Amino acid sequence: MPESHIRPARRDDDAELGELDRAAWSPVHAVTPRPEPPYDAFFDANHRPEHFLVAEDADGAILGYIRLVPPTPLACNRHVRQIQGLAVAERARGRGVGRALLRAACEEARRQGAVRITLRVLSHNAPARALYEAEGFVVEGVLPGEFHLDGRYVDDVLMGRSLTGAA
């Protein structure tokens, strides 16, 4: 892995995270259309800096991010955190940045008192699914044909893992 450090996102990361997000966009993982100018701010009322961890290199350039949030506002599932976004810059792929962000998100979820973590991934996103499985996530459900992307129906795969034991 390139020398990197994981830290909470800051408001002033907005432009750099927006650029990374647009560069990382792919029909393999995105259910929204390709971003077109004028671009919205990366952070907004539902995507606040405190929801993100970022990986940065020794020079402070952002290599990737992960978004970690409560899945609902309900008190009865405040023990769960959900990953709702993971992106790694092209130059840092295959070097452990995504794995480091995923592990950091699990640690942050534990720090927040969560005992379980979940995510959703498109069925055709084999690299992401392999990473999640390697880190202890298991398929807990499949929504067949949930999305129509690039002319075909794609399953939405629900994955999760406990945070109380080893991965």
Query: What does the pLDDT look like over 19-73, one tens digit per residue?
Result: 999 999 998 999 999 999 999 999 999 999 999 999 999 999 999 999 999 999 9
- What per-residue confidence (pLDDT) applies to 165? 73
Q: Which helix (H) or strand (E) holds 36?
A: none
What six digits make up the tokens of 65? 């991010």
Whether the Cβ atoms of residue 98 and residue 83 lie closer than 8 Å to each other: no
Query: What does the pLDDT look like over 89-128, one tens digit per residue?
Result: 999 999 999 999 999 999 999 999 999 999 999 999 999 9
- What per-residue confidence (pLDDT) applies to 1? 42
pLDDT exceeds 60 at position 2: no
- What per-residue confidence (pLDDT) applies to 125? 96
Handedness of CA 124, 25, 8, 59 (dihedral sign): positive
pLDDT exceeds 60 at position 151: yes
Rounded CA separation 120/82 (Å): 9
- What per-residue confidence (pLDDT) applies to 4? 80
Order of all β-strands in the sheet with 80-88: 4-8, 52-57, 62-69, 80-88, 116-122, 152-162, 138-149
Classify residue 30 by burial, with Cβ atoms within 10 Å: 0-12, 13-18, 19+.
middle
Reported confidence tier of residue 75, pLDDT bands at 50, 70, 90: very high
Supply the pTM of this predicted model: 0.94
Go through 153-162 and write b for each residue having 16 or more CB atoms within 10 A of its CB, e for each that does not: ebebbbbbbe
